[in-house]
Structure 1
């Protein structure tokens, strides 16, 4: 009996030591559950890049008695996404849609606001040499395309365009990336090659022959480059007609703890963004590129989810409602 008790105590000591060691290794700044004041004004770390449709929020011209936004984070919009999803760096932040879908899939403490601040048709962003012997997108099979990262939202939309509109087998393309994904859990597929960009630009990779084409941040302006898709605007119209959806790039997300503890503050933030949007309307092809609300974006979300799932960025095909919680589902009301 004594020996059994001794063994049990020894096992408990081992478990305690292991647990204590794990606790010591925790980075409490990243793992502690945020607590917000139950009532009154809340100060939030906010990554709010300055855009024409968010200028009022960025400048402080549009405000709320419920929230004080401490505008912080990098000027380069995309540079904030990794610390947001990996380190819980902001309470509220602009965020790319594909990154959010992956964050949701990996259980990150974020919830989406149905507030589109950037959407566009990316058909003109795929560039090749002006004299390249590419008659169209189908010729890219077996070729090399430079990208920032495999899971970037613009790149995901470009693969969807190639697949859905032009019948391209995107798995037969080598995607040459110079950055990792925002979510550390995601591993690039086998047809992704990593490259050091150094002091070159992504356009340089096309110009020096390292790759056959590149997905740029905007249509090419260098006269030595041209879009792979011959008539981007007509292709965008065809996408909209067939898919019935915008290509949404960026929205806003808030920490789940904020949404749970202070739904009134989340509603206030959403209202501020909506007010800022109304001050700077922008359309393309005669449609609103900044729709607000779940119902207004339902088809946009459905197509985005389908594209992310088809490209194996997420392992489960979400329902639109899965992207939201009780607080944000009610923002349409």
Structure 2
């Protein structure tokens, strides 16, 4: 009997990934060798630059940039993390800021390419007509994809202080935070009706804003296409094992057709914000995965 293929894997802990990590959902056709990386975004640069893993969670903006610049990743039609984003733009309660006051303000974000920042800018554009260059974007990190360069209006050099501390000190007027969004009354949302606007956006589009998807390394696809295909089905089985309330937005999505419209929206937003060197067609984006997964992916 041939050895069981092994894929070096990075996935954050979610209700829909825990069945894979705790051995509840398995397959004799592949073993997922999980590597702990926390926070998970620290796995992104090694994945797109060096194929450090065979299977990895990856932010959608980073994945699209990797494809545009010819990096060795294959984007699978699997969303593992989504989030409503308007509430991720915050100001200090002592110095609140309204959307109308944002032009010219200093807005901190970990990286200009961070997916949460992309969504916040997209919402500011659609809700208030604000262009990215209307604000001063202050960042700490560059892009995970080495070939990409930030637009000229993006400023660097935050230093070691956290975005929250810079906001407390008044050195920033607003910041974009995601999983590290603080609780309590010290900070206030810049968009006051963020939750209502997000709910309306979901009712209109039918999906939550996509944050992280799953990619396979090109080397893994060449070496063990059947293992990659089975890993995709494991992701779907693990997600199906999670019970969620009916009618509530889901943070996961699977399938080429289901993801066509979400990716079209993300590609358009990335182009408007100067995050991509050219327009990507969704068919182009998914072609390598379609060759591996076949029609069963939908």
TM > 0.5 fold call? yes
Q: Deviation at 1:289? A: 2.4
User: What per-residue deviation string (whole Å, max 9, x for no partner) do you get for residues 117-175 of structure 1?
Assistant: 101111111000213252x3131111100100000111111111111122112202111
RMSD: 2.0
The equivalences for 1:220-259 within 5 A come to 220-243=182-205, 245-259=207-221
Q: State which of 54, 58, 62 in structure 2 corresponds to 1:99.
A: 62
Deviation of the 1:115 alpha carbon? 1.1
Q: Work out which of the two has the higher radius of gyration on C-alpha atoms and give 1 or 2.
A: 1
Hey, what does 1:120 align to over in structure 2? Answer: 83
Q: Structure 1 residue 46 and structure 2 residue 2: aligned?
A: no
Aligned to 1:327: 292
SS at match of 2:228: helix
Q: Which residue of 2 aligns with 1:306?
A: 268
Aligned counterparts, 1:58-137, within 5 A: 58-134=21-97, 136-137=98-99
Q: TM-score normalized by structure 1?
A: 0.82
CA change 1:227–1:236 in 2 (3 A) is same
| Paired residue secondary structure (2:258) | helix
The reply on whether 1:207 has 2:172 as its aligned counterpart is no
Q: Which of 164, 168, 175 is matched with 2:126 structurally? A: 164
Q: Which has the higher contact order (CA 8 A, sep 6+)?
A: 2
**CA 1:180 to 1:281, structure 2 compared with 1: closer, same or farther past 3 Å?**
farther
Task: Structure 2: state its 5+ residue gaps.
Answer: none
Q: Secondary structure at the match of 2:141?
A: coil
Greater mean deviation of Cα atoms: 147-156 or 40-49: 40-49
Counterpart contact for 1:96–1:153, Cα < 8 Å = yes
Looking at structure 2, the residues matched to 58 and 178 of structure 1 have their Cα atoms a distance apart, in angstroms, of: 32
With structure 2 as the length reference, what TM-score do the two structures score?
Answer: 0.92
Superposition deviation, residue 316 in structure 1: 1.9
**Equivalent position of 2:154 in the other structure:** 192
* Conserved 8 A contact 1:47-1:90: yes
Question: For 2:130, what is the secondary structure of its paired residue?
Answer: coil
Q: Secondary structure at the match of 1:128?
A: strand
